Chain A
Amino acid sequence: MSTLTRPHELSHLGVLEAEAVHIFREAVAEFERPVLLFSGGKDSIVMLHLASRAFAPAPIPFPVLHVDTGHNFPEVLTYRDLAVKRAGVRLLVAGVQQYIDEGRLHERADGTRNPLQTVPLLDAIRDNRFDVVFGGGRRDEEKARAKERVFSLRDEFGQWDPRRQRPELWSLYNGRHRPGEHVRVFPLSNWTELDVWQYIDQEPIILPSIYFAHRREVFRRGGMWLAPGAWGGPRDGEPVEIRSVRYRTVGDMSCTGAVDSTARTVPEVIAEIAASTLTERGASRADDRMSEAAMEDRKREGYF
């Protein structure tokens, strides 16, 4: 179903795609050492797809980086390895587990490892001298992200200083930075969750299986369905049951919740999202609930 009326009119997805491709090309033209953050989640999968369209018929001219919490869904890791092979890109992995084993990071009391990703990420950026880092952040995700720039300047601690963010006019992006600093670039800034799903439906994009309804052992914690695993759940008094669920985001198993679902195809997922009663983050990320200002705080700390 389309409501376009003119021969030379792009659909909203066409406009968003053209904008994202433009952003990728700007960054690659203006910087020397780009890298794309690839988690195996749907936003990073869409980014990888857009990057391959932006530079075809040449291969994607940068590697991808996965910050592995050590508690990832096995399905997602399998998918990740396949996806980078198909795209012909080099995969770098920064492992939280290694930092814990070496005593450079400590497990949190709640077992959540998402906040621990910051240090390995910043180290990988420094060690590889990356000057531009593509992230899948969208402005519709969160109030604190609504004013994020497409080109977001970070200091050598990865910190985001609101005073140093530059006004972005027309489609002129300013990526100038000092040695040691880097710029986060968000090609999907103007996409909504629904746009991402519609684009996945329109393009030949395959997602990890956990995005679709499947039967899985889960238990209830903090109002979410969590999957048992080596990361430490469930505790006593948290009974495990088998339910039909899917994931709306993928991340650390300790804090990524599943939602009840029967959607087995992309259109069915779209229909469920449209009718859903919880925002994406409210439904699936325990770490976002820790405090109202959680996102803002972590952004200042150099998290994604």
Chain B
Amino acid sequence: MTTLLEPALATGSLLRLATAGSVDDGKSTLVGRLLHDLRVVMPDQLAAVERVSRERGLAAPDLALLTDGLRAEREQGITIDVAYRYFATPKRRFILADTPGHVQYTRNMVTGASTAQLAVILVDARHGVVEQTRRHAAVAALLRVPQIVLLVNKMDLVGFDKNVYAEISADFERYLERLGVDDPVSIPISALRGDNVVEPSAAMDWYQGPTLLRHLEEVPPAPDPAEQRARFPVQYVIRVGEHDYRGYAGQLVSGVLRPGDDVVVLPSNRRSTIAGIDIAGRPVNEAFAPQSVTLRLADDLDVARGELIATAGSAPEPTRELTATVCHLAERTLRAGDRVLLRHTTRTVQAIVTELVHTLDVTTLETGAGPEALHVNDIARIRLRTAEPIAADDYAVNRHTGSFVLIDPSIGDTLTAGLIGGRP
């Protein structure tokens, strides 16, 4: 039994996850169940839920009410959005991006999945894998969420039948294989009763795997920086005095850097050596992702915001021609010939959409003809030309240096999310 004090005093790792599911699969109930069983919900909140449930004539408290901020909006027809929730165990802290599951809300799932290290996809055991499930899995795979977990929910409504679960999870695995994702995990649960969410299920003793929470606590949190190439987009130049101190402030998005490392500054392609690394103004022996640090270089290069510092020998080739898979996020359409701003790491450059190559139907995985325009929630392959070169990696290799957003130059809105490279 976990005491309340343990998570308070422990320092563990952090895991970011995103949830997805169609309407009525029980996503709100699941999130409410997690918050409730982990006692994130305080008695004053629970009392409010009980009161409202009673007023609505329900027999038991509706845990879905705990995350109800979004439902009210849906009824009013305003923005449906990603909401963030927080919970903790002695082993780990969790940030959960709760994304509503309607067909038209692909953009919310893309937003939630962009930072997630794990995606939780719900299905209703009575309906199995439906079109929505395939769509959610495809978006998670597209955004390279490292771990995908299928929750077969409402097992209580199918008599906790082992065969129902086995069929659904096999079906799901077949689909994920087509997406190039191996070894997804699937867990039979009842979010309403709590089976296999935090506590193991007595009604499903045939299931030998971990509960959802155990699985969340045990998956590797992030790729090991030691196995990645170092990438450091310069955010800001810190100067003290005329010549006393010049440091390049930024967040190491991947890899490890040490004083003495040979580096190259891109896109200007100038070489130097790291003279020192500071955190909060104090020198350290090494820096690793995702630390925010300040680099000092041995040569007087005058590097600016928007440049990328990378380990010499493993640096990307700067380019002005990009091919990318994009998800269009805005009501305003995107067409070939459009002039936009492209924001890549800390660099913003002008760009022109040169071609809309084809659309991608994420449920069938089929490609369509080259479209006239991209509409909100469309996923497509496009080509772009930038006014200045950018130093990008393939998204498949690096989610930070492989991603960008397009911005409307007139009103400043974020239009499109882009993943560089990948299958044509």
Contact = CB atoms under 8 A, between A and B. Distances in A.
A3 interface: yes
Interface string B82-106: 1111101011110100100000000
A233 interface: no
A53 B280 CA distance: 4
B107 interface: yes
Contacts of B108: 167
Contacts of A185: none
B86 A139 contact: yes
Contacts of B407: 174, 176
Q: Which of A1, A11, A21 has the most CB of B within 10 A?
A: A21
Contacts of A277: 42-44
A254 to B, nearest CB: 21
Interface in A271-304: 271, 273-279, 282
With a 10 A CB-CB cut-off, give which of A10, A164, A165, A168 has the most chain B CB atoms.
A10
B13 A171 contact: no
B414 A167 contact: yes
A169 B305 CA distance: 20
A82 B325 CA distance: 53
Nearest to A202: B11
Contacts of A168: 111
Interface in A170-195: 170-172, 174, 176-178, 189-190, 192, 194-195
Nearest to A7: B226
A172 B415 CA distance: 13
Nearest to A26: B235
A170 B345 CA distance: 9
Interface residues of A, number: 69
Contacts of B93: 12, 192, 195
B182 to A, nearest CB: 22
B245 A57 contact: yes
B280 A25 contact: no
B209 interface: no
A165 to B, nearest CB: 7
A150 to B, nearest CB: 10
B114 A170 contact: yes
Interface in B279-333: 279-282, 288-292, 305, 329
A139 B404 contact: no
Interface string A1-28: 1111011111111111111011001101
B4 A3 contact: no
B400 to A, nearest CB: 6
B239 interface: yes
Interface residues of B, number: 81
Contact of A171 (B82, B107, B251): B251
B343 A1 contact: no
B177 interface: no
B11 A190 contact: no
Contacts of A56: 238, 278, 280-282
Contacts of B346: 26, 29
A235 interface: no
B292 A17 contact: yes
Given A1-B9, A10-B290, A163-B78, A29 B236 contact: yes
Given A12-B11, A147-B81, A278-B42, A172 B5 contact: no
Contacts of B83: 146-147
A28 B346 CA distance: 12
B424 interface: no
B250 interface: yes
A279 B44 CA distance: 7
Interface string B55-93: 000000000000111100100001101111110101111
B42 A28 contact: no
A8 B226 contact: yes
A199 to B, nearest CB: 10
Nearest to B107: A167
A25 B11 contact: no
Contact of B251 (A22, A144, A147, A279): A22
Contacts of B11: 1-4, 11-13, 198
A270 interface: yes
Interface in B182-220: none
Contacts of A273: 8
B224 interface: yes
The list of the 5 closest CB pairs from A to B, nearest first, reads A176-B412, A56-B281, A274-B8, A21-B292, A53-B280
Interface of A: 1-4, 6-19, 21-22, 25-26, 28-29, 52-58, 139-140, 143-144, 146-147, 162-172, 174, 176-178, 189-190, 192, 194-195, 198, 267, 270-271, 273-279, 282
Given A4-B12, A171-B251, A174-B414, 11 more contacts: A14-B291, A25-B292, A53-B281, A56-B238, A143-B68, A146-B83, A147-B81, A167-B107, A169-B115, A190-B84, A271-B9
18 contacts: A3-B91, A3-B92, A9-B13, A18-B292, A19-B290, A26-B346, A55-B249, A56-B238, A56-B282, A57-B245, A146-B84, A147-B84, A167-B82, A178-B412, A190-B86, A198-B8, A274-B9, A277-B44
